[in-house]
Amino acid sequence: MSEVQIPGICDPDGALGKLPEKKMFKLALDFRDGAISIVECNQGHTLDEALYKEIQDLSEEEVSVLGTEIADHAYDESLDIHCDRCNKFYRPYCRLHPLFKIPDRISKIEEKQPGSPFSEQTLPILFRIAQSKLPNAGLGVFASTFVPIGMVFGPYKGLKVQKKGDFYKEGYAWRINKNDKKFYIDGSHPEWSNWLRYINSPRHEEEQNMIAFQTNGKIFYRVIKPIRIDSELLVWYGSSYGGEFVDAEFGPKPKKSAKNPFICTSRVPMHR
């Protein structure tokens, strides 16, 4: 007796009955461009380890809300983030160039161990604090592992102060503009700030590997160039302060996007 074939139920060659595989999304480090990226793969499949280092699974729902483009005039500081690569605002951030936040190692004073200052104890294990290689710069922060584009650190911690005159040391504070109000986050005190206070400013564009941005009244740093092991993390403080370190011999000065007002947030010179 010949076999009766019912499409979709009996399909020995597999030509008819194959269900499409469900897609999954993973946040991964893409080794080809040294950046965090969102990779699509079939459910149950792992990523090619030669190309990607898996960071975490993302649900379809999480991925679906990424990358909504926002017109410049509709930008809302508490919801949107500027992508420096697309030069556009996204809610909550760009899907093609995603961000991945690394939390501080400790975040509350109660978690502090005896010994070193609180700010040093907040340092994630990816980094170390050591003497900077920049002339006369004091301490700096160095990568103990490869740090890809898209990693985000922060927020910058410190005392919230209203007037510039309250500052004691130079170069440790950011000016925040929120809802037409202006205040400063002063990270000069090692017990009332976090590890971001140890990050120095580049002298020229080649050296720069991070930019600062403001969101929801807080300052974060994001990696814009892959940072190799043992390299120093360098964030542009803004021309009103970081400009002091610019070295004309080495070429163009560090860049910030002209479009995003919050990337232009500047470190304040406290002596002015």
Ligand X SMILES: C[S@@+](CC[C@H](N)C(=O)[O-])C[C@H]1O[C@@H](n2cnc3c(N)ncnc32)[C@H](O)[C@@H]1O
CB of 140 to ligand X, least distance (A): 6
* Backbone torsion region of residue 34, taken as left when φ is above 0, otherwise alpha when ψ lies between -120 and 50, otherwise beta: left
Residue 138 found at the interface with ligand X (CB under 6 A):
yes
Question: Do 200 and 247 touch, CB atoms closer than 8 A?
Answer: no
Residue nearest to ligand X (CB): 171
Closer by beta carbon to ligand X, 39 or else 235:
235
Closer by beta carbon to ligand X, 169 or else 182:
169
Tokens found for residue 268: 């304040």
Residues 6+ apart with CB under 8 A from 184: 160, 161, 162, 163, 164, 166, 167, 173, 174, 175, 176, 268
CB of 241 to ligand X, least distance (A): 8
Closer by beta carbon to ligand X, 194 or else 260:
194
Interface with ligand X (CB under 6 A), residue from 114, 136, 163, 272 = 136
CB of 200 to ligand X, least distance (A): 3
Helix (H, G, I), strand (E, B) or coil at 245: helix
Interface with ligand X (CB under 6 A), residue from 70, 134, 159, 161 = 134
Tokens found for residue 125: 């294990």
CB of 32 to ligand X, least distance (A): 31
Residue 245 found at the interface with ligand X (CB under 6 A):
yes
Closer by beta carbon to ligand X, 28 or else 196:
196
- Cα Rg, the chain, nearest whole Å: 23
Site for ligand X in 114-133 (CB under 6 A): 132
CB of 138 to ligand X, least distance (A): 3
CB of 172 to ligand X, least distance (A): 5
Residue 139 found at the interface with ligand X (CB under 6 A):
yes
Pairing mode of beta strands 100-102, 151-153: parallel
Residue 137 found at the interface with ligand X (CB under 6 A):
yes
Site for ligand X in 154-213 (CB under 6 A): 170-172, 197-198, 200-201, 203
Closer by beta carbon to ligand X, 47 or else 137:
137
Residues 6+ apart with CB under 8 A from 138: 131, 132, 200
| Largest CA-CA distance found in the chain, in angstroms, rounded | 97
Cα(16)–Cα(14) distance, integer angstroms: 6
Element (H, E) at 127: strand 127-131
Closer by beta carbon to ligand X, 37 or else 266:
266
Binding window for ligand X (CB under 6 A); candidates: 92-100, 104-112, 134-142, 223-231: 134-142
Closer by beta carbon to ligand X, 25 or else 156:
156
Residues 6+ apart with CB under 8 A from 201: 171, 234, 235, 236, 237, 241, 242, 245, 254, 267
Cα(129)–Cα(123) distance, integer angstroms: 8
Residues in contact with ligand X by the rule CB under 6 A: 132, 134, 136-140, 170-172, 197-198, 200-201, 203, 245
